[in-house]
């Protein structure tokens, strides 16, 4: 007999929501490993805001009771439409205390197939077994650093996910590569923390969310019309948002259309509320980096227009490349048996991989179920699908 029915790795929004939902199944033993909200605490700079609206920022719960309003009832009527990261972290930790108070903080060293399902080896050498294993381990290993920066030490170049504060860059000259939300908001925060900042982007213009057409739909035509065009998940443009909120329907479309919609919904874009905060930040567009070198304790970059920049630090707001091979805890034999496409696991209903009993939640699931699995609002669909699948299999 295995030690547990289900083991979940990860205590962020997806892992916590999955545990809360699965524990409603009578007799199902669910064990969770992780450090609650750790990636949000360690990899999100203080002062950032969630790009999603308030409704789309709630972690799904089985009864719908663990809402932001329940977390902060005194201020329920005045919660901002875009939550500060600090407030969202506090909400996530409250959710964990309410729904999954018994988190096991020991680290998982490796996971491999076994006769009873999966053998899980902990960092202290102890091993346990589980019938199912759910990966909700987040984006951390997937941060993409362009190869030309591979040999630079962290003092000179870091990824945007490496920071929880920008205070050390007071008075420093910082160049940011990337014009998505992370790059633009990092630029605003660095500027406000006293750094000299420039943003470099490869595209010829910035995609600002909520242009004039979407502002009319959101603000000028009333709640009924807005809800017709935009799903509560708050992912994707008008109309397409409703399709992306229904992954089971999205999966019926030809693969080429799914890929196009995924690219459209996850392209680099910035929230319009950043515009005023970037008024005094130089932004250079339509440029790429062609050469990188060090000059003493600084970095020199040559751009595609022949110009050069010498700066104290380069911040790589270059996004993420999903490849589950970068999850170091997956044993080589187990990894080799997982059907994949361009690094993504090919998932079936219940977000189950080609290895029976092995499930992936969050970003690794977006190739199979669409871009809402990249966002907190995707916890609702993921957990309903997971719960339905495991309940039937019991």
CA dihedral 189, 195, 198, 201 (to 10 degrees): -40
What mean pLDDT is predicted for residues 33-44?
A: 94
In 3D space, the residue among 106, 105, 110, 93 whose CA is nearest the CA of residue 16 turns out to be 93
Is residue 130 within 8 A of residue 111, CB to CB? The reply is no
**Angstrom distance (rounded) from CA 5 to CA 10:** 16
Query: Helices marked H in 44-137 — which ranges?
Result: 68-71, 85-99
For the chain, give every domain's residue range: 4-142+321-393, 147-206+269-316, 212-266
In 3D space, the residue among 204, 199, 203 whose CA is nearest the CA of residue 189 turns out to be 199
What mean pLDDT is predicted for residues 304-323?
A: 96
pLDDT band at 221 (very low <50, low <70, confident <90, very high): low
Q: What is the mean pLDDT of the chain?
A: 92
245-291 pLDDT tens trace: 999 999 999 999 999 999 988 888 898 889 999 999 999 999 999 99
Q: Which residues are within 8 A (CB) of 375 and not within 5 positions of it... i.e. 6 or more apart? A: 52, 56, 233, 234, 235
224-238 pLDDT tens trace: 667 777 888 988 888
**Angstrom distance (rounded) from CA 207 to CA 173:** 25
pTM of the predicted structure, to 2 decimals: 0.93
317-342 pLDDT tens trace: 999 999 999 999 999 999 999 999 99
**Angstrom distance (rounded) from CA 138 to CA 141:** 8
Three-state SS at 174? strand
What mean pLDDT is predicted for residues 48-67?
A: 92
DSSP-derived secondary structure for 87-106? HHHHHHHHHHHHH-TT-B-P
pLDDT band at 155 (very low <50, low <70, confident <90, very high): very high
How high is the pLDDT of residue 392? 76
CATH number of 4-142+321-393: 3.50.50.60
> Matching CATH topology for 4-142+321-393 and 147-206+269-316?
yes
Least confident of 42-46, 184-188, 252-256: 42-46
How high is the pLDDT of residue 212? 42
Residue 119 has pLDDT above 90, yes or no: yes
Residue located via tokens 């500060």: 84
pLDDT band at 77 (very low <50, low <70, confident <90, very high): confident
What mean pLDDT is predicted for residues 143-155?
A: 93
User: Hey, what are 382's tokens?
Assistant: 């993921």
Residue 55 has pLDDT above 60, yes or no: yes
pLDDT band at 213 (very low <50, low <70, confident <90, very high): very low
What mean pLDDT is predicted for residues 180-195?
A: 95
Q: Check residue 91 and give left, alpha or beta (phi > 0: left; psi -120 to 50: alpha).
A: alpha
The domain defined by 147-206+269-316 folds into FAD/NAD(P)-binding domain (3.50.50)
How high is the pLDDT of residue 267? 86
CA dihedral 343, 106, 33, 137 (to 10 degrees): -20
pLDDT band at 216 (very low <50, low <70, confident <90, very high): very low
Exposure string (b/e) for 164-191, b if CB count within 10 Å is 16 or more? Answer: eebeebeebbbbbbbbbbbbbbbbbbbb
Select the more confidently predicted residue: 202 or 215: 202
């Amino acid at each position: 007999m295995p030690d547990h029915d289900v083991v979940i790795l990860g205590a962020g929004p997806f892992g916590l929501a999955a545990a809360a939902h699965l524990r409603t199944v009578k007799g199902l033993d669910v064990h969770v490993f992780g450090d609650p909200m750790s990636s949000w605490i360690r990899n999100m700079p203080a002062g950032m805001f969630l790009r999603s609206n308030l409704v789309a920022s709630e972690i799904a719960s089985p009864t719908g009771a663990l809402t932001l309003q329940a977390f902060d009832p005194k201020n329920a009527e005045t919660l901002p439409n875009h939550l500060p990261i600090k407030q969202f972290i506090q909400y996530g930790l409250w959710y964990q205390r309410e729904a999954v108070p018994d988190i096991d903080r020991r680290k998982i060293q490796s996971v491999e197939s076994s006769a009873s399902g999966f053998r899980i080896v902990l960092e202290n050498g102890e091993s346990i077994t589980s019938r199912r294993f759910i990966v909700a381990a987040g984006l951390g290993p997937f941060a993409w650093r362009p190869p030309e920066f591979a040999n630079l030490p962290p003092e000179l170049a870091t990824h945007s996910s490496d920071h929880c504060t920008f205070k050390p860059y007071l008075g420093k000259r910082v160049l940011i590569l990337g014009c998505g939300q992370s790059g633009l908001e990092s630029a605003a925060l660095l500027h406000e923390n006293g750094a000299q900042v420039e943003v470099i982007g490869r595209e010829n213009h910035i995609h600002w969310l909520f242009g004039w057409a979407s502002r009319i739909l959101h603000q000028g035509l009333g709640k009924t019309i807005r809800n017709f065009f935009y799903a509560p998940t708050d992912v994707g443009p008008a109309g397409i948002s409703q399709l992306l909120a229904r992954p089971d329907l999205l999966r019926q479309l030809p693969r080429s259309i799914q890929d196009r919609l995924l690219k459209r919904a996850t392209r680099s874009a910035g929230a319009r509320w950043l515009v005023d905060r970037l008024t005094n930040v130089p932004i250079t567009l339509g440029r790429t980096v062609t050469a990188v070198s060090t000059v003493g304790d600084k970095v020199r970059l040559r751009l595609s227009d022949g110009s050069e920049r010498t700066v104290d630090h380069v911040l790589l707001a270059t996004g993420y490349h999903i490849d589950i091979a970068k999850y170091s805890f997956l044993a080589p034999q187990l990894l080799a048996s997982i059907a994949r496409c361009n690094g993504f696991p090919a998932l079936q209903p219940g977000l189950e991989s080609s290895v029976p009993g092995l499930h992936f939640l969050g970003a690794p699931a977006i190739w199979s179920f669409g871009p809402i699995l990249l966002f907190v609002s995707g916890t609702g669909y993921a957990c309903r699908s997971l719960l339905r699948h495991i309940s039937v299999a019991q």
